[in-house]
């Protein structure tokens, strides 16, 4: 069985105290759309943080689905924001690049 | 009973608060809080979550001398009709809604402090400018730079520098605001937009990264001495709409997009840029504030985030000793 590098969970960032300095200096947090968080697998500090924020563990595939829903919604919003006769370059100049797909790592 | 002095050779010192630079293992009495404290370890530089904004948005402006005293204003998503007039003030713990802009705008550039700030440019493409006095915004004369996504630096609403912006690749303007009027100064070397800025005065600033086109991610950094721009060491990874904080000699460059949202953070020590701990959430177009490469704040950003992150440089972790 492949060794997992990361674990995924969902938790809503309540603001101050959600991730503290002494936590992010010990492990790497990556937040994704849909309140999805990636932290190291098999890591005591990551597990302590998951307990602290009452995060719900998700498999990578479940987390990927949650991220995809949010990204697709953002892409649709971008696609529907059009001005007549506007070139793609002009559109990017006006509202920025189209949101790109996010692929979670194992 | 054995005393602390007998073990350590000295008594526990009294401080009203904490000592300036406690060493690991140092114990003291905080007479203000009336608690015994010690320095347990030296923490690495890192981001931590701050209080969430009341209203999520991106492409907003920011100002503030430190991460604990900041202002976030305007934002989008663009275009102009949906740009927000909202302003929020941060006290290091939470954001409070304060008086709105007179003219809603996104992709505006900000400089100054949370009691004396300026916002100029944006998706109105008119150089619309407003100044903040700690209570309300006042409309000022339009800037000669009508672009959005300019870089900025400055001390307050009487001392601010703005540079570049849209359209990508052709806008190299530098403008100075003295509190009552605009002055056009020397252009910078590589015209670009979505630049990060750093600097606490209009005579010493950095123009960091950005793009010469919407899909180009320049690594260029230029330094301003009050008269002209000089190319200095590049950042490691070019990004647009990243955050910039600090001074000409101690700055932080974080987030942005390249082309997806980035969490990268780079620290400037007056000589070179060094990659350091990433943001916990990748994003671009947030509001920025902060003092240096050890004190920074990122508020909101794409897509319509409410999240705030606070950057603290390496330093002691102070803990309270429980006494039963």
Residue of A103, A94, A39, A96 whose CA lies nearest to A71:
A103
Question: Would you kindly state where each structural domain of chain B is located, as residue ranges?
Answer: 4-43, 46-312
Whether A18 maps to a domain, the answer reads: yes
Q: How confident is the model at residue B302 (pLDDT cuts 50, 70, 90)?
A: confident
* Partners of residue B51 in chain A, C-beta under 8 Å: 15-16
- Residue among B213, B214, B278 whose CB faces A28 most closely: B278
> Which domain range does residue A19 map to?
6-95
Average pLDDT over residues B80-105: 89
Residues in chain A whose beta carbon is closer than 8 A to a beta carbon of chain B? 13-25, 28-33, 74, 89, 92-97, 99-100, 102
pLDDT for A1 equals 57
CA atoms within 13 A on the CB side of B202: 21
Whether A100 maps to a domain, the answer reads: no
Whether A105 maps to a domain, the answer reads: no
Angle (CA) B105 B285 A67, round 5°: 120
Q: How confident is the model at residue B83 (pLDDT cuts 50, 70, 90)?
A: low
pLDDT at B218 over 60: yes
pLDDT for A40 equals 97
Whether A102 maps to a domain, the answer reads: no
Average pLDDT over residues B13-20: 89
Cβ-Cβ pairs closer than 8 A, A with B, add up to 90
Do A19 and B241 make contact, defined as CB atoms within 8 angstroms? no
Do B214 and A74 make contact, defined as CB atoms within 8 angstroms? no
* Token output for B211: 């793009």
* Partners of residue A33 in chain B, C-beta under 8 Å: 303
Q: CA of A41 to nearest chain B CA: how many angstroms apart?
A: 16
Closest residue of chain B to A30, computed from CA coordinates: B280
Whether A104 maps to a domain, the answer reads: no
Average pLDDT over residues B27-49: 88
For B311-323, the pLDDT digits (tens) are 998 877 788 888 7
Closest residue of chain A to B83, computed from CA coordinates: A95
Q: Tell me, which fold does domain B46-312 have in CATH?
A: Neuraminidase (2.120.10)
Cis peptide preceding A42, ω within 30 of 0 = no
pLDDT for B324 equals 65
pLDDT for B292 equals 95
Q: How many structural domains are present in chain A?
A: 1
Average pLDDT over residues A72-96: 88
Closest residue of chain A to B318, computed from CA coordinates: A22
Cis peptide preceding B303, ω within 30 of 0 = yes
Q: CA of B49 to nearest chain A CA: how many angstroms apart?
A: 5
Angle (CA) B85 B146 A88, round 5°: 85
The dihedral built from the CA positions of residue A12, A18, A23 and A25, taken in this order, carries a sign that is positive
For B118-177, the pLDDT digits (tens) are 999 998 899 999 999 999 999 999 999 999 999 999 999 999 999 999 999 999 999 999
* Partners of residue A25 in chain B, C-beta under 8 Å: 43-46, 277
Whether A91 maps to a domain, the answer reads: yes
Q: How confident is the model at residue B300 (pLDDT cuts 50, 70, 90)?
A: very high
Mean pLDDT of chain B: 93
Whether A1 maps to a domain, the answer reads: no
């Amino acid at each position: 069985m492949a060794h997992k590098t990361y674990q995924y969970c969902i938790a809503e960032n309540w603001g101050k105290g959600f991730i503290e300095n002494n936590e992010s200096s010990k492990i790497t947090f990556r937040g994704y759309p849909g309140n999805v968080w990636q932290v190291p697998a098999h890591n005591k500090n990551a597990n302590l943080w998951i307990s602290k924020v009452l995060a719900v563990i998700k498999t990578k595939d479940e987390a990927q689905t949650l991220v995809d829903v949010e990204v697709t919604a953002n892409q649709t919003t971008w696609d529907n924001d059009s001005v007549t006769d506007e070139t793609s370059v002009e559109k990017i100049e006006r509202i920025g690049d189209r949101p790109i797909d996010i692929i979670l790592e194992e | 009973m054995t005393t602390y002095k007998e073990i350590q050779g000295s008594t526990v010192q009294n401080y009203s608060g904490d000592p300036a630079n406690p060493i690991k293992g140092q114990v003291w009495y905080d007479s203000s809080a009336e608690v015994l404290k010690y320095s347990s370890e030296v923490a690495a530089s890192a981001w931590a979550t701050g209080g969430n904004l009341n209203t999520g948005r991106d492409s907003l402006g920011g100002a503030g001398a430190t991460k604990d005293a900041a202002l976030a204003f305007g934002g989008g998503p663009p275009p102009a009709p949906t740009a927000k007039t909202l302003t929020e003030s941060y006290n290091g713990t939470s954001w409070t809604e304060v008086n709105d802009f007179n003219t809603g705008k996104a992709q505006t550039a900000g400089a100054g402090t949370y009691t004396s700030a300026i916002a100029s440019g944006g998706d109105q493409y008119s150089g619309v400018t407003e100044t903040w006095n700690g209570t309300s915004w006042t409309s000022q004369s339009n800037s000669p730079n009508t672009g959005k996504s300019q870089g900025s630096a400055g001390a307050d609403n009487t001392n601010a520098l703005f540079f570049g912006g849209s359209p990508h690749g052709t806008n190299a303007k530098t403008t100075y605001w003295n509190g009552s009027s605009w002055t056009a100064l020397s252009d910078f070397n590589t015209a670009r937009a979505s630049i990060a800025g750093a600097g606490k005065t209009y005579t010493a600033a950095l123009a960091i990264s950005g793009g010469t086109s919407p899909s180009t991610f320049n690594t260029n950094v230029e330094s301003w001495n009050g008269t002209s721009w000089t190319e200095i060491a590049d950042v490691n990874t070019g990004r647009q709409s990243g955050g910039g904080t600090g001074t000409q000699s101690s700055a932080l460059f974080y987030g942005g997009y390249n082309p997806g949202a980035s969490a990268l953070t780079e620290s400037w020590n007056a000589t070179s840029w060094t990659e350091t701990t990433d943001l916990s959430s990748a994003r671009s177009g947030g509001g920025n504030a902060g003092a240096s490469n050890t004190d920074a704040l990122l508020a909101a950003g794409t897509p319509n985030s409410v999240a705030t992150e606070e950057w603290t440089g390496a330093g002691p972790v102070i803990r309270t000793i429980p006494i039963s």
